[in-house]
Amino acid sequence: MRQMDLIEREWGLVWGYPNWQGVLNTAFNLRGADLFVDMIDRPAAVDRLLGVVAETMIRLARLVEERQRRSGFPIDLLSVSNCVMNMTSPVQYRRFVQLHDRRIALSFARFGVHTCEWDVTPYLEVLAELPKVGYLDMGIQSDLEKVRRELSPCDVVVPDIAVDTPDERVRELLGICEHLAGHPPA
């Protein structure tokens, strides 16, 4: 909260879209690899841990967003990072994490998920069940046609293009985007 006071004092708006650690990432940070053993041996303990993490996230994110709105920045998106999702199966995600992601999504105007998945395809069905999804991060190996069918409408954001990215890779990406939009490549 002090950091937001400083930002407002120096620059006015407390602008930005924080990307919170997701319930799965946070639980993994707390339990380590034992979290995945707990999913088999102690599922009730995992449910309780993820529930506490989700409730804490919701309360803190509401405080931060309210502070941002008071400064004049009308934020309406909460995005979470579930980078270790690929250490679970879609069945485990649905059983342990989806309920908590749903609670978080329903607590805010829009919801986003960063997955660190080069191929998010196996998780599309369970992620498509979440309400208010306005952002889903995925890798280029994902089945983008399936993403478009199950999660459309969506924008394609490519934050990792660097000055040394070969032109051919950029042209390939543009061709994929044109194909997804239903237009032939130029």
> What integer pLDDT is reported at residue 135 of this predicted model?
80
Beta carbons of 8 and 71 less than 8 angstroms apart: yes
34's tokens:
């034992």
Which residues fall within 8 angstroms of residue 128, CB to CB, at 6 or more apart? Answer: 150, 151
pTM for the model stands at: 0.80
> What integer pLDDT is reported at residue 162 of this predicted model?
81
> What integer pLDDT is reported at residue 50 of this predicted model?
98
Q: How many CB atoms lie within 10 A of CB 130?
A: 17
Beta carbons of 14 and 7 less than 8 angstroms apart: yes
- The full set of domain ranges for the chain reads 2-155, 159-186
Beta carbons of 46 and 39 less than 8 angstroms apart: yes
Which residues fall within 8 angstroms of residue 180, CB to CB, at 6 or more apart? Answer: 144, 145, 148, 156
**Quick one: which H or E segment has residue 79?**
strand 77-81
**Quick one: which H or E segment has residue 135?**
strand 133-136
Beta carbons of 118 and 86 less than 8 angstroms apart: no
66's tokens:
């309210």
Q: In the CATH scheme, what is the code of domain 2-155?
A: 3.20.20.210
pLDDT in tens, the chain (186 residues): 898 899 999 998 898 887 789 999 999 999 999 999 999 999 999 999 999 999 999 999 999 999 999 999 988 888 899 889 989 999 999 999 999 999 999 999 989 888 877 788 999 899 989 998 888 887 778 887 888 777 766 656 666 778 888 999 889 888 887 887 776 655
DSSP letter (8 states) at residue 22: P
Assign residue 116 a region (left: φ > 0; alpha: ψ between -120 and 50; beta: otherwise).
left
Q: Is the peptide bond before 43 cis (omega within 30 degrees of 0)?
A: no
> What integer pLDDT is reported at residue 156 of this predicted model?
61
